[in-house]
Amino acid sequence: MVILLEKYDIIVVGAGTGGCMTARTAAGQGYKVCLIDQKERDKIGEKACGEAIGKHHFDNLKISQPQGDELAGKVEGIDVFSPDSKTTFKVKGEGLHGFMINRLAFGQRLVNEALDKGAELYDQTTVLDPIFKNEQVVGVKVKNNVKAEIVEVLGKVVVDACGISSVLRRKMPLNWRIETDTQGKDIEVCYLEIRKLQTNLDDPELLRIYLNQKICPGGYYWVFPKNDNSVNVGAGIQMIKGFPSPKTQLYEHVFSQPLFKDSKIIKASGGMVPTRRPIDCMTGNGILFVGDSACQPNPIHGGGIGPSMIAGKLASEVVCRAIEIDDVSQSGLWTYNVEYMKGYGAKAAALDIFRLFLQKCNDDDLNYGMENKLVKEEDVLHASLGEDLKLNITDKATRVFKGLKKLSFLMALNSTAKMMRDVKSLYRQYPDFDGYSTWAQKIREIFSGAEKMEFGYV
Ligand SMILES: Cc1cc2nc3c(=O)[nH]c(=O)nc-3n(C[C@H](O)[C@H](O)[C@H](O)COP(=O)(O)OP(=O)(O)OC[C@H]3O[C@@H](n4cnc5c(N)ncnc54)[C@H](O)[C@@H]3O)c2cc1C
């Protein structure tokens, strides 16, 4: 039996960071919002996560910083280690100040805030399908997991914030020009443990990222200190054919290190994160995509909490305006694409070009590149904040790479920096609805060029 529920202004699918921010913003403006999540109420927010988030997100979104149970430490910067451990990039600065959080407590705060603003929560409810009427999404078909009932929830607009499962995006009609699939090469498969150490960690305010293509092909492993001498330790590996298990890699290469001797496992979990540029079009008729369902995490480090919250707030504001003027069509919701892509989207797209370059590097490339400081530490910081990638290809570095018969590496790095600038500029001119196809074609050509770029020994 299918039961029909009352009609909402906005249905938000997924009560993660993106969904809660969407629901909270719209409910705060007086709209009738329902928030649906498959998890039970008390488990919302629990997921595999490195638990690091930048302070600037809280400042920009004007939400209160983590405190009490949510806060697990302050972050002052990141140390990035070369594969041979000979070079450490110390990336520090105000833009990298942040927090280590306890993910469940943080998620609970966000869902409470959405409910306090008036959103209604359907927990333990799995969204199965979009409901279409006259080529428009008008609701979702869901299963109440306790009563095993199928229910239809209707709304003026659906916001899909269900994370990487992208359950609704996969079912969008092709003529809406929304990419319905995320390819494995654009996903990192991760495993992490929270461990209590027996030895004290120096500089507990610094996150540690270890590049090593043999241990984590196409990704990295991390050690992020939390309070009480515990650490969040994990590995992310690009999901391409034959990829090794991140858990096996962590146990063989990381937990065998002296730091982890007699450490105790507090929690273990696995998950996936999309690491490509946001999907080119994030709206359809009556629907928008927010967070991982729109591939919004930072392509270099996979941090997606901040972007999902930025997008959630923006999506809500656009939806509320569209409802007011009674145009929730794809073009009526288009401003969401334009505003997001001009801001965080442009930075993410440029970093995605850099990600494609880094994933082609072998450990020697990374060792030599870092040792010769082809990008300076302060410029890594600037690039991570969205500025252009500034290269530091000195005469000495050129001689070193010539000696290695790897001049093509420097040329590829140069082309990468140029493509990053080009892409950013195109994103800042994200088109109106009618100009989309031409724009998307240009973007696809640049990314296809970046994917095909090679640098061998010449
Ligand atoms: C191992 C790992 C480490 C990470 N580390 C960091 C980090 O340190 N810092 C950072 O900023 N980001 C990190 N990320 C990325 C970050 O967790 C995500 O980008 C962010 O949580 C995205 O939020 P979201 O709201 O889009 O999705 P999610 O937080 O995944 O929320 C989606 C919600 O939708 C619900 N849902 C899914 N399908 C359905 C369905 N069919 N019906 C109903 N409900 C559904 C889920 O239960 C969930 O609550 C990490 C990711 C992983 C996997």
C-alpha of residue 163 to centroid of ligand 1, in Å: 5
Phi and psi based region of residue 124 (left: phi greater than 0; alpha: psi -120 to 50; beta: remaining): left
For a ligand 1 pocket test, name from 238, 273, 279, 344 the mutation site with the most ligand atoms within 8 angstroms of its C-beta: 273
Distances (CA, A) of 162 to 16, 19, 222, 442: 7, 8, 26, 29
Q: Cα–Cα distance between 206 and 349 in angstroms, integer?
A: 27
Over its C-alpha atoms, the chain yields an Rg (Å, rounded) of: 22
* Predicted confidence band of residue 354 (pLDDT cuts 50, 70, 90): very high
Q: How confident is the model at residue 4 (pLDDT cuts 50, 70, 90)?
A: low
pLDDT tens string 180-191:
999 999 999 999
Look up the CATH superfamily of 184-274.
Answer: D-Amino Acid Oxidase, subunit A, domain 2 (3.30.9.10)
Distance from the alpha carbon of residue 442 to the mean position of ligand 1, in angstroms: 30
Rounded to whole angstroms, the Cα distance separating 329 from 288 reads 10
Cα–ligand 1 centroid distance for 190 (angstroms): 12
Give yes or no for residue 140 CB within 6 A of ligand 1.
no
Strand partners, 188: 238, 273
Residue range 2-51+105-179+276-346 in CATH 3.50.50.60: yes
Q: What does the pLDDT read at residue 458? A: 62
Confidence of residue 404 (pLDDT cuts 50, 70, 90): confident
Q: What confidence tens digit (pLDDT) does each residue in 123-160 have?
A: 999 999 999 999 999 999 999 999 999 999 999 999 99
Those residues whose C-beta lies under 8 Å from the C-beta of residue 151, and which sit 6 or more positions away, are 2, 3, 4, 5, 125, 141, 142, 143, 144
Half-sphere exposure of 219 (CA within 13 A, CB side): 31
Q: How far is the CA of 245 from the centre of ligand 1 (A)?
A: 20
* pTM, two decimal places: 0.96
Mean pLDDT of the chain: 95
- Which of 38, 110, 245, 298 to mutate for ligand 1's pocket (most ligand atoms within 8 Å of CB)? 38
**Cβ neighbour number for residue 112 with a 10 Å cutoff:** 14
pLDDT at 379: 84
- Check residue 116 and give left, alpha or beta (phi > 0: left; psi -120 to 50: alpha): alpha
Question: Exposed/middle/buried for 30, CB within 10 Å: 0-12, 13-18, 19+?
Answer: exposed
Q: Whose alpha carbon is nearest atom 19 of ligand 1?
A: 304
Q: What is the pLDDT of residue 433?
A: 96
Domain ranges for the chain: 2-51+105-179+276-346, 184-274, 358-452
pLDDT in tens, 217-255: 999 999 999 998 999 999 999 999 999 999 999 999 999
Instruction: Verify whether ligand 1 is closer than 6 Å to residue 320 (CB atom).
Output: no
Query: Does pLDDT of 6 surpass 80?
Result: no
pLDDT at 164 over 80: yes
pLDDT tens track for 44-71: 999 999 999 999 999 999 999 999 999 9
> Is the shortest distance between the CB of 244 and ligand 1 below 6 Å?
no
